[in-house]
Structure 1
Amino acid sequence: MSKLVCPLLLLCSLPAVDPLFCYTCVFPAILPIDCIRFPIKCPREQVCLSSRAVGEKGDLHVVLYEKSCIPPSLCGVTGQKYTMGLNFTFTNECCNTHLCNGAETPATPYWTVMLLTLLMSYTCCMK
């Protein structure tokens, strides 16, 4: 009986590992406040991500924001990705407390979003 008690006591004394909850976006947004976000449970040993990607093509300048879970090895990474016909430079920022990637940066004025939408429509129609 005493052979069973020691391992059980050891197991009970180990701290419970709570899963980390982070926000995720349904799709990337052009404003931090546009992100339709909801909390998700991250896989073990992942942290919360807030990513910002800047894309340019001629005079067109687009910034996309994304939130999710990510392995710590990808934190602080800057790189390139191609989407929507644009080359984007992205930067990953991470944090490791519950829902820490929910902070919003100051919003861009509404007219800027309208102008961006019109420019993208005009660019698409010119092809």
Structure 2
Amino acid sequence: MSQRSSLLFLVLCCLPLIVVSLRCYTCVFPSISPMDCLKYPQECPADQRCLASTAVASQGSLRLVLYEKSCALPAQCGLSGEKHAAGLNFSYHNECCDTDLCNGATGAAAPSWTGLVLSLIALPLVHIFG
């Protein structure tokens, strides 16, 4: 091996690995269907992927669909389960992707967006601003 190729080999071996971070959309706050969340691009840590999560709760004729986007550890990807919030039980499902801003798509709008949901949201606002 020539001195030049030896030097090149040494330089290449000693360079730190270049890790390119993935950029994902993150919601400022979760959104309620049919609206999309207010999202902005965020650089994720190198070991994370882009997450899009959908949570659905039903109570009588009320159907509430929440969308959330963020960076996530691979262990959170593909998970489904239950979580409790605002007095409702939500069934959620997490989906992940591996390309820049791949979690930007809006979920399908829920057909049962009702006045009851609007009143549940507006009631606390009336007390705050009323």
So what's the TM-score if we normalise by structure 1? 0.77
> Match of 1:11?
14
Is residue 91 from structure 1 mapped to residue 116 from structure 2 by the alignment? no
- List per-residue Cα deviations over 1:65-96 (Å, max 9, x = no partner): 00001011111100111111111110000001
Identity of aligned residues (%): 45
Amino acid in structure 1 at the alignment position of 2:37: C
**How far apart are 1:46 and its partner, in Å?**
0.4
Cα distance change of structure 1 residues 16 and 71 upon mapping to structure 2, 3 Å threshold: same
Amino acid in structure 1 at the alignment position of 2:113: T
**How far apart are 1:15 and its partner, in Å?**
5.8
Amino acid in structure 2 at the alignment position of 1:11: C
| Unaligned stretches of 5+ residues in structure 2 | 125-130
Q: Matched residue of 1:67: which SS? A: strand
> Match of 2:128?
none
Larger Rg: 2
Asked if 2 retains the 8 angstrom alpha-carbon contact of 1:32 and 1:65, the reply is no
Asked if 1 retains the 8 angstrom alpha-carbon contact of 2:31 and 2:66, the reply is yes
Cα distance change of structure 1 residues 32 and 93 upon mapping to structure 2, 3 Å threshold: farther
Asked if 1 retains the 8 angstrom alpha-carbon contact of 2:20 and 2:46, the reply is no
So what's the TM-score if we normalise by structure 2? 0.76
Cα distance change of structure 1 residues 22 and 32 upon mapping to structure 2, 3 Å threshold: farther
The whole-number CA distance in structure 2 between the counterparts of 1:63 and 1:105 is: 9
| Unaligned stretches of 5+ residues in structure 1 | none
If each structure's helix is expressed as a fraction of its own residues, which one has the higher value?
A: 1
**How far apart are 1:47 and its partner, in Å?**
0.2
> Match of 2:36?
34
